[in-house]
Amino acid sequence: MPKLVVAMTGGIGSGKTTVSEIFASLGIPVIDADRIVSDLLASLPIRQLIRRHLGRGCLDRQGLINRGFLRQTIMADPSRRKRLEGILHPRVWQSIENGIKKSDAPYCLVVVPLLFETGQQHRFDRTLIIDAPDYLRIRRLRHRPGWNLQHIRTMLSLQVSRRLRLSLAQDRIENHGTRKQLQDQVEKLDRFYRQLAAAKDVQDSFGVSSRAS
Ligand code: ADP
């Protein structure tokens, strides 16, 4: 089990996926909360639960999740949002815990796009934010197929502000330069996290417990 678990967050389009790929190329296991949610939404038992608790309309004719409808319905109705979170969140955290336990790297990275929105930062040893100015994020997102300005604004409105996120995270990667600059920052942080993990190893061997269970 890794000595250090780092949560990575950042606004949509800030570069989380790109940064994860760089960490992965350095041999660091990456667990992605969004991917876990997608896998859960694709599973039959979860689709059945969602239909029971949020209504038939959340599924399409094939019985698959109608993501657009689901997003709209939870935005319009906070009680439905709570119900959906009640179904997904405990399972997502369980899956993240399992993923962490399986890994034997010195540290691992968990990508949690809504880390501060869900108030779950206490679960991790460190928090890392990928930051980019809003104009750049919007410009990047406009290249995504099917993403118009209105959709981008809606997605941005669901997330905490850049300023709040910056004030909450311990570590930061600035992604407003070139890919090479991004790579350099990740490599530097990788060295730092490896040092922190090694220091914890030493603490543990002196009988000081360093990870909350
Ligand atoms: P997120 O996962 O946070 O939504 P992505 O990593 O998918 O963000 O990045 C959004 C888009 O911006 C992607 O198309 C990605 O290739 C591009 N991108 C990210 N960082 C850079 C960079 N430093 N230079 C150029 N393009 C970038």
The tokens describing 167, both together, are 């004030």
HEC sequence for 10-59: CCCCCCHHHHHHHHHHCCCCEEEHHHHHHHHHHCHHHHHHHHHHHCHHHE
Protein residue closest via CA to atom 14 of ligand 1: 140
Atom of ligand 1 nearest to the CA of 130: 3
Contact 90, 4 (CB under 8 A): no
User: What lines the ligand 1 site, CB under 6 Å?
Assistant: 10, 12-18, 140, 143, 175, 178-179, 182
Compute, in angstroms, the gap from residue 18 CA to the centroid of ligand 1. 6
> Mapping DSSP to helix (H, G, I), strand (E, B) and coil, where does residue 182 land?
helix
Instruction: Give the other-Cβ count within 10 Å of 77's Cβ.
Output: 13
Strand partners, 172: 129
- 30: Cβ contacts below 8 Å, ≥ 6 apart: 20, 23, 24, 108, 109, 110, 111
> Which atom of ligand 1 approaches the CA of 111 most closely?
2
**Domains of the chain, earliest start first:** 1-29+106-213 (3.40.50.300), 43-102 (no CATH)
Residue nearest to atom 12 of ligand 1 (CA): 140
**Mutation pick for ligand 1 pocket among 34, 140, 143 (CB with most ligand atoms within 8 Å):** 140
Q: Which of 8, 9, 17, 176 to mutate to test the pocket of ligand 1 (most atoms within 8 A of CB)?
A: 17
- pLDDT tens track of the chain, all 213 residues? 999 999 999 988 999 999 999 999 999 999 999 999 999 999 999 999 999 999 888 999 999 999 888 888 888 888 999 999 999 999 999 999 999 999 999 999 999 998 988 889 999 999 999 999 988 988 888 888 878 888 888 777 777 788 888 888 999 999 999 999 999 999 999 999 999 999 987 777 665 544 544
